[in-house]
Amino acid sequence: MHAALRDVLVGANPGQASLSALACDPAHTRGRRFAEPAAPTRNDFQRDRDRIVHSTAFRRLVYKTQVFLNHEGDLFRTRLTHSLEVAQLGRSIARALGLNEDLVEAVALAHDLGHTPFGHAGQDALNECMAEHGGFEHNLQSLRVVDKLEERYPAFDGLNLCFETREGVLKHCSRTNAEHLELTDPGGVGRRFIDRTQPSLEAQLCNLADAIAYNAHDIDDGVRSGLISIEQLLQVELFAHYHQQTLAEHPGLSEKPRRVLYETIRRMLSDQVYDVIDTTRRAVSDAGVASLEEARLAGPLVAFSPGMKARSSELKRFLFAQLYRHPQVMHTTGQAQQAVRELFAAYIAKPAEMSADFAANADLHRSVADYIAGMTDRFALREHERLTGRKLL
Protein backbone atom coordinates (compact mmCIF):
# COMPACT_ATOMS: atom_id res chain seq x y z
CA MET A 1 0.00 0.00 0.00
CA HIS A 2 1.38 3.42 -0.91
CA ALA A 3 2.37 5.60 2.06
CA ALA A 4 0.01 8.43 1.06
CA LEU A 5 -2.97 6.09 0.80
CA ARG A 6 -2.04 4.46 4.10
CA ASP A 7 -2.09 7.87 5.79
CA VAL A 8 -5.54 8.64 4.38
CA LEU A 9 -6.90 5.24 5.32
CA VAL A 10 -5.39 4.47 8.70
CA GLY A 11 -3.34 7.51 9.61
CA ALA A 12 0.38 7.60 10.22
CA ASN A 13 -0.08 5.38 13.29
CA PRO A 14 -2.32 2.28 13.15
CA GLY A 15 -3.40 2.95 16.74
CA GLN A 16 -6.41 5.05 17.67
CA ALA A 17 -4.16 7.97 18.61
CA SER A 18 -3.93 8.86 14.92
CA LEU A 19 -7.19 9.07 13.01
CA SER A 20 -7.65 8.62 9.29
CA ALA A 21 -8.31 11.78 7.28
CA LEU A 22 -11.72 10.21 6.57
CA ALA A 23 -12.64 9.86 10.24
CA CYS A 24 -14.86 12.15 12.27
CA ASP A 25 -12.72 14.25 14.59
CA PRO A 26 -14.33 15.31 17.89
CA ALA A 27 -12.26 18.49 17.78
CA HIS A 28 -14.14 19.46 14.60
CA THR A 29 -17.63 18.16 15.31
CA ARG A 30 -20.58 19.93 13.71
CA GLY A 31 -21.71 20.53 17.26
CA ARG A 32 -24.67 20.04 19.54
CA ARG A 33 -28.14 21.49 19.21
CA PHE A 34 -27.55 23.43 22.44
CA ALA A 35 -24.09 24.84 23.09
CA GLU A 36 -22.21 23.43 26.06
CA PRO A 37 -18.72 24.03 27.45
CA ALA A 38 -16.11 21.39 26.67
CA ALA A 39 -15.35 18.71 29.26
CA PRO A 40 -11.82 18.75 30.72
CA THR A 41 -11.09 15.01 30.41
CA ARG A 42 -13.36 13.66 27.65
CA ASN A 43 -13.89 14.53 24.01
CA ASP A 44 -17.38 15.15 22.66
CA PHE A 45 -17.92 11.63 21.30
CA GLN A 46 -16.85 10.10 24.61
CA ARG A 47 -19.34 12.35 26.37
CA ASP A 48 -22.06 11.19 23.97
CA ARG A 49 -21.26 7.55 24.70
CA ASP A 50 -21.39 8.17 28.44
CA ARG A 51 -24.71 10.02 28.22
CA ILE A 52 -26.20 7.13 26.27
CA VAL A 53 -24.98 4.52 28.76
CA HIS A 54 -26.48 6.47 31.68
CA SER A 55 -29.82 7.09 29.94
CA THR A 56 -33.09 5.51 31.03
CA ALA A 57 -33.75 4.25 27.51
CA PHE A 58 -30.45 2.36 27.47
CA ARG A 59 -31.24 0.57 30.74
CA ARG A 60 -34.60 -0.50 29.37
CA LEU A 61 -32.90 -2.38 26.53
CA VAL A 62 -32.06 -5.23 28.91
CA TYR A 63 -35.76 -6.14 28.98
CA LYS A 64 -36.47 -5.61 25.27
CA THR A 65 -36.10 -8.57 22.96
CA GLN A 66 -34.63 -9.36 19.57
CA VAL A 67 -36.58 -12.46 18.48
CA PHE A 68 -37.53 -14.31 21.67
CA LEU A 69 -39.58 -12.58 24.35
CA ASN A 70 -37.83 -11.61 27.55
CA HIS A 71 -39.51 -14.29 29.65
CA GLU A 72 -38.75 -17.15 27.23
CA GLY A 73 -35.20 -17.77 28.46
CA ASP A 74 -32.37 -16.19 30.42
CA LEU A 75 -29.68 -16.67 27.75
CA PHE A 76 -31.40 -15.27 24.67
CA ARG A 77 -30.16 -11.93 23.34
CA THR A 78 -31.86 -8.71 24.28
CA ARG A 79 -31.56 -5.29 22.69
CA LEU A 80 -28.92 -4.47 25.29
CA THR A 81 -26.67 -7.45 24.61
CA HIS A 82 -27.11 -6.91 20.88
CA SER A 83 -26.05 -3.27 21.20
CA LEU A 84 -22.96 -4.28 23.18
CA GLU A 85 -22.02 -6.83 20.52
CA VAL A 86 -22.45 -4.26 17.75
CA ALA A 87 -20.25 -1.84 19.69
CA GLN A 88 -17.51 -4.48 20.09
CA LEU A 89 -17.52 -5.41 16.41
CA GLY A 90 -17.69 -1.76 15.41
CA ARG A 91 -14.72 -0.74 17.53
CA SER A 92 -12.61 -3.58 16.12
CA ILE A 93 -13.31 -2.53 12.54
CA ALA A 94 -12.90 1.17 13.34
CA ARG A 95 -9.50 0.57 14.90
CA ALA A 96 -8.26 -1.24 11.80
CA LEU A 97 -9.52 1.52 9.48
CA GLY A 98 -8.40 4.46 11.61
CA LEU A 99 -11.99 5.59 12.17
CA ASN A 100 -13.22 7.11 15.40
CA GLU A 101 -13.83 4.30 17.89
CA ASP A 102 -15.63 6.51 20.40
CA LEU A 103 -18.13 7.70 17.81
CA VAL A 104 -18.70 4.16 16.57
CA GLU A 105 -19.33 2.99 20.12
CA ALA A 106 -21.76 5.83 20.81
CA VAL A 107 -23.76 5.14 17.65
CA ALA A 108 -23.78 1.38 18.27
CA LEU A 109 -25.04 1.77 21.82
CA ALA A 110 -27.76 4.23 20.79
CA HIS A 111 -28.98 2.70 17.54
CA ASP A 112 -31.76 0.61 19.15
CA LEU A 113 -32.96 3.06 21.80
CA GLY A 114 -36.19 3.64 19.89
CA HIS A 115 -37.14 0.00 19.47
CA THR A 116 -40.51 -1.08 20.80
CA PRO A 117 -41.17 -4.01 23.11
CA PHE A 118 -41.51 -7.39 21.36
CA GLY A 119 -38.91 -6.67 18.69
CA HIS A 120 -40.01 -6.03 15.12
CA ALA A 121 -43.48 -7.39 15.92
CA GLY A 122 -44.10 -4.45 18.23
CA GLN A 123 -42.72 -1.98 15.73
CA ASP A 124 -44.96 -3.26 12.93
CA ALA A 125 -48.05 -3.11 15.13
CA LEU A 126 -47.25 0.40 16.33
CA ASN A 127 -46.64 1.56 12.76
CA GLU A 128 -50.05 0.17 11.83
CA CYS A 129 -51.68 2.02 14.73
CA MET A 130 -49.96 5.26 13.67
CA ALA A 131 -50.71 4.89 9.94
CA GLU A 132 -52.94 7.99 9.90
CA HIS A 133 -50.74 9.95 12.28
CA GLY A 134 -47.26 9.99 10.77
CA GLY A 135 -46.39 6.31 11.13
CA PHE A 136 -43.69 4.82 13.32
CA GLU A 137 -40.06 4.20 12.32
CA HIS A 138 -37.80 2.80 15.02
CA ASN A 139 -34.73 4.65 13.69
CA LEU A 140 -36.59 7.93 13.82
CA GLN A 141 -37.82 6.98 17.29
CA SER A 142 -34.22 6.42 18.43
CA LEU A 143 -33.46 9.97 17.30
CA ARG A 144 -36.58 11.18 19.09
CA VAL A 145 -35.40 9.50 22.30
CA VAL A 146 -31.99 11.20 22.27
CA ASP A 147 -33.36 14.55 21.03
CA LYS A 148 -36.52 14.89 23.11
CA LEU A 149 -37.80 12.04 25.27
CA GLU A 150 -34.90 11.62 27.68
CA GLU A 151 -35.31 14.12 30.52
CA ARG A 152 -32.07 14.32 32.47
CA TYR A 153 -30.69 17.83 32.04
CA PRO A 154 -31.97 21.19 33.29
CA ALA A 155 -31.30 23.24 30.15
CA PHE A 156 -32.67 21.02 27.37
CA ASP A 157 -34.75 17.98 26.50
CA GLY A 158 -32.97 14.86 25.29
CA LEU A 159 -29.26 14.08 25.60
CA ASN A 160 -28.02 16.92 23.36
CA LEU A 161 -25.71 14.62 21.40
CA CYS A 162 -23.32 15.73 18.68
CA PHE A 163 -24.50 15.93 15.08
CA GLU A 164 -22.28 12.98 14.10
CA THR A 165 -23.77 10.70 16.75
CA ARG A 166 -27.33 11.71 15.88
CA GLU A 167 -26.58 11.19 12.19
CA GLY A 168 -25.43 7.64 12.92
CA VAL A 169 -28.49 6.89 15.03
CA LEU A 170 -30.78 7.84 12.13
CA LYS A 171 -29.85 4.81 10.04
CA HIS A 172 -32.93 4.93 7.81
CA CYS A 173 -35.59 7.58 7.27
CA SER A 174 -38.40 8.02 4.76
CA ARG A 175 -38.19 11.09 2.55
CA THR A 176 -41.40 12.42 4.08
CA ASN A 177 -39.98 12.23 7.58
CA ALA A 178 -36.66 13.65 6.38
CA GLU A 179 -38.53 16.66 5.00
CA HIS A 180 -40.28 17.11 8.34
CA LEU A 181 -36.92 17.02 10.11
CA GLU A 182 -35.58 19.58 7.67
CA LEU A 183 -38.35 22.01 8.63
CA THR A 184 -37.28 22.09 12.27
CA ASP A 185 -33.56 21.42 11.79
CA PRO A 186 -32.43 22.84 8.41
CA GLY A 187 -29.29 21.17 7.14
CA GLY A 188 -29.45 18.68 9.99
CA VAL A 189 -29.47 14.91 10.18
CA GLY A 190 -32.41 14.50 7.80
CA ARG A 191 -30.76 16.41 4.96
CA ARG A 192 -28.75 13.50 3.57
CA PHE A 193 -31.91 11.52 2.85
CA ILE A 194 -33.08 14.40 0.65
CA ASP A 195 -29.71 15.03 -1.02
CA ARG A 196 -28.93 11.29 -1.26
CA THR A 197 -25.48 11.69 0.24
CA GLN A 198 -23.77 9.29 2.62
CA PRO A 199 -23.35 9.47 6.40
CA SER A 200 -19.92 9.31 8.01
CA LEU A 201 -17.86 6.15 7.59
CA GLU A 202 -18.41 5.51 11.30
CA ALA A 203 -22.18 5.48 10.72
CA GLN A 204 -21.79 3.22 7.68
CA LEU A 205 -19.63 0.89 9.75
CA CYS A 206 -22.26 0.63 12.50
CA ASN A 207 -24.91 -0.31 9.97
CA LEU A 208 -22.82 -3.25 8.79
CA ALA A 209 -21.71 -4.28 12.28
CA ASP A 210 -25.40 -4.38 13.23
CA ALA A 211 -26.13 -6.87 10.44
CA ILE A 212 -23.08 -9.02 11.25
CA ALA A 213 -24.00 -9.23 14.93
CA TYR A 214 -27.67 -9.86 14.22
CA ASN A 215 -27.08 -12.86 11.96
CA ALA A 216 -24.48 -14.41 14.27
CA HIS A 217 -26.43 -14.23 17.49
CA ASP A 218 -29.68 -15.32 15.87
CA ILE A 219 -27.92 -18.53 14.82
CA ASP A 220 -26.89 -19.08 18.45
CA ASP A 221 -30.31 -18.22 19.88
CA GLY A 222 -32.13 -20.17 17.17
CA VAL A 223 -30.18 -23.37 17.83
CA ARG A 224 -30.44 -22.89 21.61
CA SER A 225 -34.23 -22.58 21.29
CA GLY A 226 -34.47 -25.75 19.21
CA LEU A 227 -36.27 -23.93 16.39
CA ILE A 228 -33.43 -24.42 13.91
CA SER A 229 -30.86 -27.21 13.77
CA ILE A 230 -27.23 -27.59 12.80
CA GLU A 231 -28.36 -29.88 10.00
CA GLN A 232 -30.51 -27.11 8.56
CA LEU A 233 -27.72 -24.57 8.90
CA LEU A 234 -25.33 -26.83 6.98
CA GLN A 235 -27.40 -26.00 3.89
CA VAL A 236 -26.17 -22.39 4.19
CA GLU A 237 -22.76 -21.85 2.58
CA LEU A 238 -21.42 -19.29 5.06
CA PHE A 239 -22.17 -21.50 8.05
CA ALA A 240 -21.24 -24.81 6.42
CA HIS A 241 -17.79 -23.57 5.36
CA TYR A 242 -16.69 -22.60 8.88
CA HIS A 243 -18.42 -25.56 10.52
CA GLN A 244 -16.51 -27.99 8.29
CA GLN A 245 -13.31 -26.03 8.83
CA THR A 246 -13.75 -26.25 12.60
CA LEU A 247 -14.32 -30.01 12.59
CA ALA A 248 -11.37 -30.57 10.25
CA GLU A 249 -9.02 -28.71 12.59
CA HIS A 250 -10.57 -30.02 15.82
CA PRO A 251 -11.92 -33.54 15.15
CA GLY A 252 -12.06 -34.19 18.88
CA LEU A 253 -14.94 -31.71 19.16
CA SER A 254 -17.32 -33.84 17.10
CA GLU A 255 -19.06 -34.96 20.31
CA LYS A 256 -19.32 -31.40 21.60
CA PRO A 257 -21.73 -29.69 19.19
CA ARG A 258 -22.21 -26.57 21.32
CA ARG A 259 -18.49 -25.85 21.30
CA VAL A 260 -18.34 -26.50 17.55
CA LEU A 261 -21.22 -24.05 17.08
CA TYR A 262 -19.45 -21.33 19.07
CA GLU A 263 -16.23 -21.79 17.13
CA THR A 264 -18.12 -21.75 13.83
CA ILE A 265 -19.81 -18.47 14.75
CA ARG A 266 -16.51 -17.00 15.96
CA ARG A 267 -14.85 -17.79 12.62
CA MET A 268 -17.80 -16.40 10.69
CA LEU A 269 -17.59 -13.16 12.66
CA SER A 270 -13.83 -12.85 12.22
CA ASP A 271 -13.84 -13.41 8.49
CA GLN A 272 -16.74 -11.02 7.95
CA VAL A 273 -14.85 -8.36 9.92
CA TYR A 274 -11.68 -8.92 7.88
CA ASP A 275 -13.72 -8.86 4.68
CA VAL A 276 -15.25 -5.48 5.59
CA ILE A 277 -11.82 -4.06 6.43
CA ASP A 278 -10.22 -5.22 3.18
CA THR A 279 -13.20 -4.27 1.01
CA THR A 280 -13.44 -0.81 2.57
CA ARG A 281 -9.75 -0.16 2.03
CA ARG A 282 -10.11 -1.05 -1.64
CA ALA A 283 -13.27 1.04 -1.99
CA VAL A 284 -11.55 4.09 -0.49
CA SER A 285 -8.58 3.62 -2.81
CA ASP A 286 -10.78 3.17 -5.88
CA ALA A 287 -12.93 6.20 -5.01
CA GLY A 288 -9.88 8.40 -4.52
CA VAL A 289 -11.44 10.20 -1.57
CA ALA A 290 -9.09 12.06 0.75
CA SER A 291 -11.41 13.74 3.27
CA LEU A 292 -14.58 13.15 5.26
CA GLU A 293 -16.57 15.52 3.05
CA GLU A 294 -15.39 13.75 -0.11
CA ALA A 295 -16.40 10.43 1.45
CA ARG A 296 -19.91 11.76 2.11
CA LEU A 297 -20.30 12.55 -1.59
CA ALA A 298 -19.07 9.14 -2.73
CA GLY A 299 -21.20 6.01 -2.75
CA PRO A 300 -21.24 3.69 0.27
CA LEU A 301 -17.63 2.84 1.11
CA VAL A 302 -17.94 0.50 4.10
CA ALA A 303 -19.20 -2.75 2.66
CA PHE A 304 -18.80 -6.49 2.18
CA SER A 305 -17.09 -7.87 -0.89
CA PRO A 306 -19.60 -9.17 -3.48
CA GLY A 307 -18.91 -12.77 -2.46
CA MET A 308 -19.35 -12.15 1.26
CA LYS A 309 -22.44 -10.05 0.62
CA ALA A 310 -24.01 -12.94 -1.30
CA ARG A 311 -23.19 -15.45 1.45
CA SER A 312 -24.43 -13.12 4.19
CA SER A 313 -27.66 -12.50 2.27
CA GLU A 314 -28.21 -16.25 1.91
CA LEU A 315 -27.87 -16.64 5.69
CA LYS A 316 -30.29 -13.77 6.26
CA ARG A 317 -32.86 -15.39 3.95
CA PHE A 318 -32.45 -18.68 5.78
CA LEU A 319 -33.02 -17.06 9.17
CA PHE A 320 -36.07 -15.21 7.88
CA ALA A 321 -37.66 -18.37 6.50
CA GLN A 322 -36.66 -20.87 9.19
CA LEU A 323 -36.48 -18.79 12.38
CA TYR A 324 -38.36 -15.50 12.12
CA ARG A 325 -41.22 -17.20 10.23
CA HIS A 326 -41.19 -20.36 12.36
CA PRO A 327 -44.76 -21.20 13.48
CA GLN A 328 -43.83 -20.86 17.15
CA VAL A 329 -42.27 -17.42 16.59
CA MET A 330 -45.18 -16.36 14.38
CA HIS A 331 -47.68 -17.32 17.09
CA THR A 332 -45.79 -15.23 19.64
CA THR A 333 -45.51 -12.42 17.09
CA GLY A 334 -49.26 -12.39 16.57
CA GLN A 335 -49.92 -12.26 20.30
CA ALA A 336 -47.38 -9.47 20.77
CA GLN A 337 -48.90 -7.40 17.97
CA GLN A 338 -52.34 -7.86 19.47
CA ALA A 339 -51.02 -6.64 22.82
CA VAL A 340 -49.58 -3.48 21.23
CA ARG A 341 -52.74 -2.73 19.25
CA GLU A 342 -54.95 -3.18 22.31
CA LEU A 343 -52.64 -1.09 24.48
CA PHE A 344 -52.74 1.67 21.88
CA ALA A 345 -56.55 1.62 21.74
CA ALA A 346 -56.82 1.61 25.53
CA TYR A 347 -54.58 4.65 25.97
CA ILE A 348 -56.30 6.58 23.19
CA ALA A 349 -59.63 5.92 24.90
CA LYS A 350 -58.30 6.76 28.38
CA PRO A 351 -55.11 8.86 28.25
CA ALA A 352 -55.09 9.13 32.03
CA GLU A 353 -54.04 5.48 32.17
CA MET A 354 -50.60 6.63 31.00
CA SER A 355 -48.14 8.50 33.20
CA ALA A 356 -49.05 12.17 33.66
CA ASP A 357 -46.35 13.59 31.36
CA PHE A 358 -47.56 11.54 28.42
CA ALA A 359 -51.26 12.01 29.16
CA ALA A 360 -50.86 15.80 29.07
CA ASN A 361 -49.26 15.91 25.62
CA ALA A 362 -51.34 17.76 23.01
CA ASP A 363 -50.46 15.25 20.25
CA LEU A 364 -52.21 12.27 21.84
CA HIS A 365 -51.46 9.66 19.17
CA ARG A 366 -47.73 10.45 19.10
CA SER A 367 -47.67 10.53 22.88
CA VAL A 368 -49.24 7.07 23.07
CA ALA A 369 -46.72 5.79 20.52
CA ASP A 370 -43.86 7.26 22.57
CA TYR A 371 -45.23 5.70 25.75
CA ILE A 372 -45.63 2.22 24.27
CA ALA A 373 -42.31 2.35 22.42
CA GLY A 374 -40.54 3.05 25.70
CA MET A 375 -41.97 -0.03 27.41
CA THR A 376 -40.06 -3.19 28.18
CA ASP A 377 -41.61 -6.51 27.19
CA ARG A 378 -42.67 -7.38 30.71
CA PHE A 379 -44.11 -3.94 31.50
CA ALA A 380 -46.12 -4.00 28.26
CA LEU A 381 -47.54 -7.42 29.17
CA ARG A 382 -48.43 -6.28 32.69
CA GLU A 383 -50.08 -3.12 31.36
CA HIS A 384 -52.04 -5.11 28.79
CA GLU A 385 -53.32 -7.48 31.46
CA ARG A 386 -54.19 -4.56 33.76
CA LEU A 387 -56.11 -2.67 31.09
CA THR A 388 -57.85 -5.59 29.36
CA GLY A 389 -58.13 -8.18 32.11
CA ARG A 390 -56.61 -10.78 29.76
CA LYS A 391 -53.22 -12.45 29.74
CA LEU A 392 -51.88 -13.03 26.23
CA LEU A 393 -48.36 -14.36 26.74
At 252-300, the pLDDT tens digits run 998 899 999 999 999 999 999 999 999 999 999 999 999 999 999 999 9
Q: What share of the chain is helix, strand, coil (3-state, %, to 5)?
A: 65, 0, 35
Provide the pLDDT for residue 6.
40
Contacts (Cβ under 8 Å, ≥6 apart) of 55? 113, 145, 146, 150, 152, 159
Binned at pLDDT 50, 70 and 90, residue 70 comes out as very low
pLDDT digits (tens, 9 = 90+) for 10-64: 443 334 557 999 999 999 999 999 999 999 999 999 999 999 999 999 999 999 9
- Residue 11: its pLDDT value, please? 40
Residue of 392 and 105 predicted with greater confidence: 105
Q: How far apart, in Å, are the Cα atoms of 367 and each of 133, 348, 370?
A: 11, 9, 5
Torsion of CA 279, 209, 316, 61, to 10 degrees: -170
Q: Number of C-alpha atoms within 13 angstroms, CB side, residue 302?
A: 28
- What is the structure's pLDDT at 18? 79
Which sequence spans correspond to the domains of the chain? 42-217+266-388
CA–CA distance, 363 with 340 (Å, rounded to integer): 19
pTM of the model: 0.92
Residue 306 has pLDDT above 80, yes or no: yes
Contact 269, 242 (CB under 8 A): no
| Averaged pLDDT score across all residues of the chain | 92
Once rounded to an integer, what is the mean pLDDT over residues 218-226?
A: 92
Structure confidence by residue, pLDDT tens digits, 349-376: 999 999 999 999 999 999 999 999 999 9
Q: What is the largest CA-CA distance in the chain?
A: 69
pLDDT band at 242 (very low <50, low <70, confident <90, very high): very high
**Secondary-structure class of domain 42-217+266-388 per CATH:** mainly alpha
Q: What is the pLDDT of residue 14?
A: 36
In the predicted model, is pLDDT for residue 100 greater than 60? Answer: yes
- Measure the CA–CA gap between 100 and 206, rounded to whole angstroms: 11
* SS3 sequence of 151-199: CCCCCCCCCCCEHHHHHHHCCCCCHHHHHHHHHHCCCCCCHHHHHCCCC
The predicted structure's pLDDT at residue 392: 85
- pLDDT value at position 17? 54
Q: How far apart are the first and last CA of the chain?
A: 57
Instruction: Look at residue 3 in the predicted model and tell me its pLDDT.
Output: 42
Q: Which residue has the higher pLDDT, 118 or 17?
A: 118
